[in-house]
Structure 1
């Protein structure tokens, strides 16, 4: 409301200083201003009604054009039904013209042509232009909402895929554990059974102990199946290769690199430190999976780029890094064979080993996969994105330009909207002022109203309603150059005028009153101030 009042005050001041105050009295101007502010306050609940009311007031005074523009913009922007919105804006655009013609006695003594042009001008500035801009802004808002909804749906789908990928990876790990541990338990049960048979005749007491070992191994095997079943079905889709003692070792990784080279991908391998033959099978399997999945993605999306595979074996951890350059063809134009599950599954596997995993684009448009895996993992670990190690990997993956914080972006967006609104209102105000100036210097504007409208005996208010209020600028120009006033006159009115004669002299009409009755009308000219 304060902003709206400021807009009205500034507009009235500018128009009054330029001679466009109109013929309304101060009481009318105050009433119209309060009514306009009420319509501005009601525009959120009754936008179309507020626009119609403001359009009616706009036909009485151009000073309300800026407020009408605000309401027209908001009404058109919120219009969900295009037909109803367009009809409302069109109907309200005709109201200022109709009111201006009906009020033509206030526009230079009944000149309807001038009234029509003023009505068209204020309608264009206050209703039509902001209505069109609001329509475009509303369409943009609806498009942004639709894109956000699609983004939210895509994010939900991505999270669902990641969750399914984690479940599948746990199932794959369960199958690997079943193969490894189950094989060992089967050997224990087998050897215990053989020992039981051998000791049946030689040492019956020991044979009973061997039988207990055999039964314990069998029970452990069954319990292992039950426990691993919690992680998912024991599927055997553990990859294209079978888990062996060589999985994840240097020869195994070299074989993966050689396969990619044979497929036409330029791959370089850098191995630092000792071999991984002595670490746990789960660690070696994770190293194999990281390299295999990263190279598979390179085959799908960046087959023509150079790839660097680095494995750094330390005392406490293994760091695996696979990095490729920017693909010559954008990823959107590739085959699209990927499901997005591989990297999420890798993150789940690494987190279960108490490791850290990160994957993302590089600053030059390439892609990098990083994994830090403990050589002796604990029973369980935190999520992949937590901890100092995870932060270190995230920093290494961060692009050069990470962008501004969300709060700064929001503030900058609001500032841009505010500046655009101010510039738009300033442009409309300048257009209104320029249009009124052109109209007042046109042939239709013929200076003071004809004498048939103004007659002796009129009251001051009746005269002001026709010719407009007293203009201090015209009074100052007439001082010292006007004819002598009648001796009985108590006061005179000098309406605003900018009409000049052939000698470029300002044509002034003076109205003198005796009390509240018009007694004298004098026309004279005065040179323009240069």
Structure 2
């Protein structure tokens, strides 16, 4: 999300971002304090007034690492060369940056540039921060760059490649599942279309021939046999009705996205006026029907929903005509924002049919499939108090992803398993991050200890690190301080002091003269003006041997 989008985000999203930034800043502060405590023996020239602002800057770079990865990594690499205590913060930024960057060239150049920047700043800054010489800074910077930028960066590269591979595999799996579903739907639709075409060609042709020949027979018998002519008219009408019903069946067998029957879908199909027309036909056949409509009309709903409502009512009324002739019927339609419910209920017939027609159950099965394809459900059965009822409930706005396929029966279990897998993945990621930080911390500390052990120490008698311009306190730290015995031995034998000096410190000096002349020892004199070293003198003085106490035998040692 870009910075502008975060500003314009919802309040809940802004709160979440602020809480995450605060948690990361606190965590980075804990890492910095822990590293400072572990490296407390490392000499440095930082004061709290300088260290606190630098630490706040390091924490800011940690927080913005996702939005500005390049600036964050390079900025902390420069700070790391000056202040080694930010090693673990640098490791977190290097890992995150390498994991998020996808361009291999940019990623490699960035990690290499950050490593070189750490080495360069450490080499230049160590003499001024009191850590050591330029050579010591070079070694320290190389260790910090390798352990806190190089190794975490390689880990981030590996994790990023794994994330992208998993995402690609998930996308390919989803695409394969969708392709398989579409292929199944296409094959079923093609099979339905083939069946419809065969039925139309075979049965439809025969029915049309029957209607034609019966019409001719009716015309031939018009004047000769009126009674036979009436029978021929009934046969012709039955053939036409059979053709009509056949074409309606062909509409069901055709592709689900369109209706191929003679009564193709119109804007009025499934509306209140359409159902009123259906019921008026049944009233004309002697069936009392009442309509109970609750909610707005269905004229603005999806065509598939209106078609399903029409089919449910028509099939239910057809069953009433077949098996419960003359029974009172109630059609109830409840239309809300979320769903459409249709209930067709008939009372027991006053005069049961002497020879009831055998039911195949295909009509209700087809209705149930049609409703379930929309994401709804249909129940049909005998009522306890007598009669029959068909009850269908379907969504008012079908989900396009679900239309045309039935929901999986164990979808809830799949979502629960997915949630559990997500929790396990998060816990594993946290544990891996903690173990990785612990490994980086141990490796960094071992490297710093090795560099510190290899650091050149001042040689007794050869304080080569003392230079003109140093403070008196620093000279005493490197040269072991002022020696009263050496001061007394040099009195009267030392060269003249500088005229503007205010104080001098005496210590052991170079011993070239002591190797060539016996009885001499070297002296180093450091003269200061206002606590600043202005001159270093090296000279030798005779070694004076004082008599020691006599032993018990009266002789000398």
Provide TM-score, normalisation by structure 2.
0.50
Q: Provide closer, same or farther for how the CA distance between residues 117 and 351 of structure 1 changes in structure 2, counting only shifts above 3 A.
A: farther
Aligned length: 339
Deviation digits for residues 374-395 of structure 1, max 9, x if unmatched? 999x999899xx9xxx99x957
Deviation digits for residues 477-501 of structure 1, max 9, x if unmatched? xxxxx999xxxxxxxxxxxxxxxxx
Deviation digits for residues 245-289 of structure 1, max 9, x if unmatched? xxxxxxxxxxxxxxxxxxxxxxxxxxxxxxxxx873959xxxxxx
Q: C-alpha distance in 1, partners of 2:369/2:414?
A: 29
- Offset at 1:454? 4.6
Partner of 2:33: 9
Within 5 Å, which residues of 2 pair with 1:67-106?
67-106=89-128
Q: 2:77 aligns with which of 55, 60, 63?
A: 55
Deviation digits for residues 219-263 of structure 1, max 9, x if unmatched? 2244245424434669xxxxxxxxxxxxxxxxxxxxxxxxxxxxx
- Offset at 1:199? 6.9
Q: C-alpha distance in 2, partners of 1:91/1:448?
A: 37
Q: Provide closer, same or farther for how the CA distance between residues 120 and 157 of structure 1 changes in structure 2, counting only shifts above 3 A.
A: same
Within 5 Å, which residues of 2 pair with 1:292-303?
none
Q: C-alpha distance in 1, partners of 2:531/2:215?
A: 133
Structure 1, unpaired ranges of 5+:
235-277, 284-316, 318-347, 357-373, 468-481, 485-513, 520-530
8 Å CA contact retained: 1:189, 1:213: no
Partner of 1:230: 251
Q: Provide closer, same or farther for how the CA distance between residues 200 and 110 of structure 1 changes in structure 2, counting only shifts above 3 A.
A: closer
Q: Provide closer, same or farther for how the CA distance between residues 39 and 483 of structure 1 changes in structure 2, counting only shifts above 3 A.
A: farther
Q: Provide closer, same or farther for how the CA distance between residues 446 and 350 of structure 1 changes in structure 2, counting only shifts above 3 A.
A: farther
Q: C-alpha distance in 2, partners of 1:280/1:176?
A: 22
Q: 2:193 aligns with which of 162, 171, 176?
A: 171
8 Å CA contact retained: 2:82, 2:126: no
Q: Provide closer, same or farther for how the CA distance between residues 52 and 353 of structure 1 changes in structure 2, counting only shifts above 3 A.
A: closer
- Offset at 1:430? 0.8
Other structure's SS at 2:39 match: helix
Partner of 1:148: 170
Other structure's SS at 2:232 match: helix
8 Å CA contact retained: 1:193, 1:210: no
- Offset at 1:94? 0.9
Q: 1:216 aligns with which of 196, 221, 237?
A: 237
Q: Provide closer, same or farther for how the CA distance between residues 81 and 186 of structure 1 changes in structure 2, counting only shifts above 3 A.
A: same
Q: C-alpha distance in 1, partners of 2:75/2:370?
A: 70
Q: C-alpha distance in 1, partners of 2:409/2:130?
A: 74
Partner of 1:306: none
- How much is the aligned-residue C-alpha RMSD, in angstroms? 4.9
Q: C-alpha distance in 2, partners of 1:81/1:190?
A: 76
Q: Provide closer, same or farther for how the CA distance between residues 121 and 184 of structure 1 changes in structure 2, counting only shifts above 3 A.
A: same
8 Å CA contact retained: 2:200, 2:250: no
Partner of 1:416: 428
Q: C-alpha distance in 1, partners of 2:136/2:199?
A: 92
Q: C-alpha distance in 1, partners of 2:116/2:469?
A: 37
- Offset at 1:150? 2.2
Matched, 1:352 2:374: no
Matched, 1:207 2:228: yes
Deviation digits for residues 352-410 of structure 1, max 9, x if unmatched? 39999xxxxxxxxxxxxxxxxx999x999899xx9xxx99x957x99xx9796222211
Partner of 1:310: none
Other structure's SS at 2:457 match: coil
Matched, 1:161 2:196: no
8 Å CA contact retained: 1:12, 1:21: no
Q: Provide closer, same or farther for how the CA distance between residues 416 and 355 of structure 1 changes in structure 2, counting only shifts above 3 A.
A: closer
Other structure's SS at 2:82 match: coil
Deviation digits for residues 475-527 of structure 1, max 9, x if unmatched? xxxxxxx999xxxxxxxxxxxxxxxxxxxxxxxxxxxxx9x9599xxxxxxxx
Q: 1:119 aligns with which of 141, 148, 156?
A: 141
- Offset at 1:171? 2.9
- Offset at 1:159? 3.2
- Offset at 1:412? 1.2
Within 5 Å, which residues of 2 pair with 1:43-442?
43-106=65-128, 110-171=132-193, 174=196, 203-204=225-226, 206-231=227-252, 280=360, 352=369, 405-442=417-454
- Offset at 1:452? 4.6
8 Å CA contact retained: 2:99, 2:158: yes
Q: Provide closer, same or farther for how the CA distance between residues 459 and 34 of structure 1 changes in structure 2, counting only shifts above 3 A.
A: farther
Partner of 2:495: none
Greater RCO, CA 8 A, separation 6+: 1
